[in-house]
Structure 1
Amino acid sequence: MPNPLVPRIEHLVTSGSFDLDGGSWQVDNNVWLVGDDSEVLVIDAAHDADAIAAAVGARRLVAIVCTHAHNDHIDAAPALAERTGAPVLLHPDDLPLWKQTHPDRDPDQPLTDGQRLTVAGAELTVLHTPGHSPGAVCLYAPALGTLFSGDTLFCGGPGATGRSYSHFPTIIDSIRDRLLTLPPGTVVRTGHGDPTTIGAEAPHLDEWIARGH
């Protein structure tokens, strides 16, 4: 039987639209929960507050952490916060994007580079990784051997940089300097799609640069 007081990672997939620059695309988003049987933290409250609240259950929701402020990662955050009383955390550089989705409701607390979040005895360090968006962050949990990468790093390469508020050279710098320096066995749990590892992605950096996403 698993220990109810040992931190664990839970995974939920929700579906909805990603809307930016006048376009709209249907997407599946990964919602990550880190916690134990008594408390939990949600990473990216996407699309479906009811489904996320059901996954949280009777546990105390410590915080709703946004890896960035594209609408598909934050659209359910205010509703989930209202239901649970948990604060919404976002890097302030992404506030202009946040306001496109929630013009009348600000995030509750800022995320800062190097900040440490604790849940169920597990520590997650905030890494500011701009490029996909100005305020994009990843969360590194060394004790869990895991990086929650949002849309900064995927299985197969960096996040998209072809739309407003994004910049390809910046995301490459973020990945090279902040992520690929982590232990190779670190599991990368992404904002969309399948997980990967730092060791699987690191050899392809030069290919990504040559492609110039």
Structure 2
Amino acid sequence: MASLYNRFVLPGLLKCACSSPGIMKQRAKVVPLASGRVLELGIGMGLNLALYDGDKVESVTGVDPAPELRAIAEAAPRDPRLTVRVEDGTAEALPFEDASFDCVVCTFTLCSVQAPAAALAEARRVLKPGGRFLYCEHGLAPDAGVARWQRRVEPLWKRIAGGCHLTRPVHATIEAGGLKVRWQDSLYIPGAPRIAGWSEWGEAAPL
């Protein structure tokens, strides 16, 4: 049953949620900053592809473990100048050599990976010296009342939202993973429920 849900129901739910105007506005705050050879963790349905600047980006390589989502990403709109590859893989075990990419992009992915620390360690490994980690994520809210509801709802939320966690602290998780945050901003995404709407975005670099 879970497999049928993941194949036929979950992609539609994710598309509705992850391509909402508020979420797309968040993506647009970081994706156009990417340059050079780019790796996108959890490319999903390829919603970021249309946001890359073809004048700055040499290529985009995306990884995702879900074949249903990779098929959608392959057909997603993008700048025709971009070279795009979509590969089977997980953020925790990237199939790439050390120092392969100028930039790693991670949007609304750390909430659902099984091991954030391993994913961030892999991002550090594949980044070239001086490389950048661009992120936009949702996670644990700073308001105690919202955080309490996040903890109450999370067990059910994970089951229906493809393993998405509500209570992972974005900034702390990134820095615990060996990346130094250079700049960051945050807000509750307009139009999103507050339990899922606390978003933090910015740029980090390997320590």
Fold agreement, TM-score > 0.5: no
* Higher-helix-fraction structure: 2
* Higher-strand-fraction structure: 1
Length-normalised TM-score, structure 2: 0.40
Length-normalised TM-score, structure 1: 0.40
Q: Which has the higher contact order (CA 8 A, sep 6+)?
A: 2
